[in-house]
Structure formats: structure tokens, C-alpha cells
Amino acid sequence: MGRLEGKSVIITGAGSGIGRAASLLFTREGAKLIAVDKTDAVRETVDLVHKAGGTADAVIADVGVESEVQGYIANALSAYGKLDAIWANAGIGGGLIPIAEQTPEHWQEVLRVNLIGPFLAVKHSIPHLVKQGYGAIVCTASVAGLKANASGHPYAASKAAVISLVQTTAYSLSGTGVRINAICPGLIETGMTKPLFDGAKQRGSEDKIGQLNPLKRPGQPIEIAAMGLFLASDEASYVNGQAFPVDGGLTASMPYAGKPI
């Protein structure tokens, strides 16, 4: 029996990176998956799941549009008859633009995807989870939502807001049996961070990526997926309202430039 055997799960941002790694891991552990992304790449993810013997359907949707969120949740209920867990993972970076050059429109788009997207996932999954008296919600936040200098301003603000959404929603769900938690990835090699990794490779400084954390390396999508698997599973039955850094130890300390002790 897998850790998610027979559970109906939705993962957004499933077309690449953390979402694709999670899709493969969750279905390997027995989940029946609705994989959501705004691009056709989600079909490739589902093809990989099928080749590995898993169960998944692809849904192309914009996570920041309410009707499309309602659509992918309805798809899960129609395909599998229930919803046990949802991982609101989809997000965009927003770039590193000087604050004096940022526009309200830029902020609105980052917040629409990174914050309104998880909010809508929470809003429209809750009635079904509460009705059955159990369920797990996972949201992808970031270490940028915990500390400064990990990203641009709108991205950091959106991820700090996701953490607050998780904390406040945990109390809104008091007594329902439904849990909600956030994961705060550090520097992970994904499509979003590809320009950073490509630039380091071109400069010959690839070995310096991730040097600020005690493990001295960047993370891989599967390492975030593993935390998501735990939080979505019954093993995390007493874990609620928390934001977990998965960052190689980056947020364990204040900035330190001295020699290791």
C-alpha cells in the first residue's frame, strides 16, 4: 500500500519542476491525480505518470481565474468521486526589477497567480473537504516569504501572504478535521530558476549556486515533493497551520561571513 493509496489529489503547476516531481511521486504512492497547469506541458507530466503505471488526468487551467479553479475541482470529483488533498503549487517569479520601476500591473499579476490562486484553491476545496470531515491542503510559499533578499518584492510579498493565508485558514477550519500547511522552498532547480542556473554555468560558477546554505548546494524538485507527500498523507495528521522551510538550512541562521565552527 502506498502512502496515498486510493486518495484523490489535485496538484497545480504540474507541468514542470516541483509540480511534475510531485505528480510522479504522489501517483507512485497510490494517488489518483488531477494534474493542473496553464500549459500543454501538463499533458507530458500525465504521460509520464501513465508510463509509470499511475492514474492521472490533465487539466489546462489558469489558477488565478475562479471559474477555472471550480472547473478543476469539479473534474477531480467527477473522475474520482471525492477530493482528499490539494496542493496549490502553481506560481510565477516576477523577476528582479528595481522597486522604482515596478508597476501596479506587474504586482497585480504576481499576486493574482501566487496568492489569489492558492486562495481560490482553498475556497473551493474547503466545502468538499469539510463535508467529509477530513482532508489536506498544501500551499507552496517560499523562503522569500520568511526573509529578505531571496527574490523580487512582489514575489516575496505574495509568498509571505501565502504563509499568512495558511495560518489564518487553519483557524478558520478549527474542528473540521481539515489540515492546511505551507512549504517554503529555498533555491530549487526549476524552470523558474533556470536563468540563474544557466547564467552560472556560462560564467563557470555553477559550484557556487546554493553556497549560502549549510548543505552548500541547491535543492531538487523531488526534495520539495517529498515534503508535500508527507503533508498530504495521513502521517501528518497532527501537523497543521505551519510553514516549513525546505532550504538546506538557509533560514536557520542570520547572515554569517566567517569560517565554519
Mean pLDDT of the chain: 92
What pLDDT shows up at residue 189? 79
Q: Which residues carry out catalysis?
A: 155
Pseudo-torsion of CA 104, 106, 109, 114, nearest 10°? -110
Per-residue pLDDT reduced to its tens digit, 188-210: 877 666 666 656 666 766 666 66
The 3-state DSSP class for residue 185 equals: strand
The length of the chain in residues reads: 261
Alpha-carbon distance of 165 to 199, in angstroms, equals: 34
Domains of the chain by residue range: 8-191+220-244
Per-residue pLDDT reduced to its tens digit, 238-250: 999 999 999 999 9
- Among 83, 53, 63, 51, which residue's Cα sits nearest to residue 15? 63
What pLDDT shows up at residue 225? 98
For the domain spanning 8-191+220-244, the CATH number is 3.40.50.720
The DSSP bridge partners found for residue 244 are 183
